[in-house]
Chains A and B, each alone.
Chain A
Amino acid sequence: MSTTAIAPRQAAASRVTKASTTLTTALSDTASVAWRNLLTQLRTPQALVFATIQPVIFVLLFRYAFGGAIHVPGTNYVDFLMPGIFAQTVAFGAVGTAVGLSGDLRTGILVRFRALPMARIAVLGGRTVADLARNLLVVAVMIGVGFAAGFRSPRGAGGLLAALGLVIAFGYALSWGFASLGLRVSDPEAAQAAAVPVMFLLVFTSAAFVPSTAMPGWLQAFGTHQPVDALVNAERALILGGPAAHDVLISLAWSGGLLIVFALLAARNYARVGR
């Protein structure tokens, strides 16, 4: 047993204020980190621009290139499409959480944060809150693009806002999943390469762009039992009309469940940073 002592003097110990991990300090630290992340995003606008351009291209592709060949009974294709686009926007946007955190891991700023007397939750909380703000912005842009492409939200603003609430909640839960990935990969490109295929799989096997009934049975079995599909169905029920309660509950259950699992995973991975 060996002891290592550095400046073992009483003065230092007595100067320490009581280690306070109150909610107030956690919130204020989270706000500080979120502010830093938003500022960083504004100063590297490329990421924000690409996060917006991709869904815009999807709207144009599916509305004008493929849309004519996709027939959805009982509704305009663009009204069917936009809930899928909203889901896709936040699903791919969440990849940004992984890229941002793995960048912080690479530069070493996470090690500095871990050695500071700040609330431990703030690094992940600040990152996901900043990404939530970015999602709000990008989704707002997508609503504009949707309206320009003929989207009319048949059930009015209430249904649309409720649907977007579900979208943002799902995006937030997903951010924590990508946060836990980003903390394990200190290379932003690798984080992106790992994250994008998973999102493609979830988005394209869901009913985001085409009705699930057009898919073969084995694919439907997967595609209709995953969170993106649950979200899209709930959004459509709220935007296009129909019985919504059941789908909304399923989507909320997915988002809540994923948030808990991913947050625990991310917290565990954060504790490993720097080792």
Chain B
Amino acid sequence: MRKAFGGVQALDGLSLAVPAGSVLGLLGPNGSGKTTTVSILATLLRPDAGRAIVGGLDVVTQAARVRQVIGLAGQFAAVDPNLTGRENLRLIGRLSRIGRSQARVRADELLDSFGLSAAAGRLVRGYSGGMRRRLDVAAALLHRPAVLFLDEPTTGLDPESRFALWDCVRDLARSGTAVLLTTQYLDEADALADQVVIIAEGRVADTGAPAELKARFGTVVFSLDFGRPEAARAAHAALAASGYRPQRDGAGIQVRSATGSGELTSVLRALDGRAPDPVSVAVREPTLDDVFLSLTRGGEAA
């Protein structure tokens, strides 16, 4: 898919696929095209070029029917703060074409399964952030969509609410829903996604299962803390000169290794005499953050 806004190429030949019953995590820095992608797939935007098929239907030529099989929740879709939780769900149920009585039944079912039964009769403006977000996801599920779009569903949530929402997403995928999840939290993608697509500048930078991506990145990561950014900068230069691809973040340096923890000796040798000794050294497994940062920005970051 391609999409430009003015002179800015938001999507530049992006391709992805989400099989039924699976979760695809769409990762990318701000402005990389995540929201544009979801907007096109949810029929809010037309692509300039390319095709998108959702639930077997073309999002441009069959947009009205696509809307019957999708649910959209997250950042930029909302519920009404001046209605109660139950009124919100009944309204959206009626507008989702499931009929008035079915809308009532589904609303109560969803309130129950999202732990909102007790708050169902209260105005949403009095809900906590976590409750509001759960209601938002529930509102996307009234017509049992085959495809669910979740745009940064847990941004700003406390850990408990996040985990509760994660369980809901897992259950949905298990019941056959195809879920497309955009997130800024890599641990969220790691926990939920069967496949991860990392996008940068409107293109797919890498794709694979979280475990594959991490394995491709390396077996271990050395995490060196130099205490001061200047020292880390010198270390970065020294390591780069020795053929490593270090990542610097403030006073810290991450170096990945394909061969294992034994390589630490040669990493430290590369620093010897060219940079101050690190304050601390840790050996850890790679995370999706490492993969993400190596793909979406160069080695040296501010």
**Known contacts A4-B52, A6-B18; A116/B92 CB under 8 A:** yes
**Contact count band on A:** 35 or more
| B48-95 at interface with A (beta carbon < 8 Å) | 49-57, 64-65, 67-70, 72, 75-83, 87, 91-92, 94-95
Does A5 contact B96, Cβ atoms closer than 8 Å? no
Rounded to whole angstroms, the CA-CA distance of A167 and B175 in the bound complex is 55
Does A111 contact B56, Cβ atoms closer than 8 Å? no
Does A16 contact B69, Cβ atoms closer than 8 Å? yes
Does A274 contact B39, Cβ atoms closer than 8 Å? yes
Does A4 contact B69, Cβ atoms closer than 8 Å? no
Does A118 contact B97, Cβ atoms closer than 8 Å? yes
Does B18 contact A114, Cβ atoms closer than 8 Å? no
A8 part of interface (Cβ distance < 8 Å): yes
Please give 11 more A-B residue pairs, beta carbons under 8 A apart, in addition to A109-B78, A115-B42.
Answer: A1-B49, A2-B2, A6-B54, A7-B55, A9-B20, A9-B55, A9-B146, A16-B55, A108-B77, A115-B67, A118-B96
Does A107 contact B78, Cβ atoms closer than 8 Å? yes
A246 part of interface (Cβ distance < 8 Å): no
Contact digits for A92-127, partner B, Cβ 8 Å, 1 yes 0 no: 000000000000000111011111111000100000
B240 part of interface (Cβ distance < 8 Å): no
A17 part of interface (Cβ distance < 8 Å): yes
Picked from A6, A21, A36, the residue with its CB within 8 Å of the CB of B64 is: A21
Does B50 contact A112, Cβ atoms closer than 8 Å? no
Rounded to whole angstroms, the CA-CA distance of A8 and B16 in the bound complex is 12
Contact digits for A1-27, partner B, Cβ 8 Å, 1 yes 0 no: 111111111111101110101000100
Picked from B1, B81, B95, B123, the residue with its CB within 8 Å of the CB of A113 is: B95
B215 part of interface (Cβ distance < 8 Å): no
Count A-B pairs with CB separation below 8 Å. Answer: 162
In the complex, how many angstroms separate the beta carbon of A8 from the nearest chain B beta carbon? 5
B147 part of interface (Cβ distance < 8 Å): yes
Picked from A2, A32, A115, the residue with its CB within 8 Å of the CB of B70 is: A115
Contacts of B94 in A (CB 8 A): 28-29, 32
Rounded to whole angstroms, the CA-CA distance of A274 and B78 in the bound complex is 12
Which listed segment binds B: A38-46, A174-182, A191-199? A38-46
Contacts of A44 in B (CB 8 A): 82
The 10 A-B residue pairs with the shortest CB-CB distance, nearest first, are A12-B55, A108-B78, A7-B178, A13-B56, A12-B146, A274-B44, A118-B95, A2-B15, A112-B77, A117-B67
Contacts of B55 in A (CB 8 A): 6-9, 12-13, 16
Rounded to whole angstroms, the CA-CA distance of A28 and B31 in the bound complex is 39
> Which residue of chain A has its CB nearest to the CB of B46?
A275
B223 part of interface (Cβ distance < 8 Å): no
Among A109, A122, A273, the most chain B Cβ lie within 10 Å of the Cβ of A109
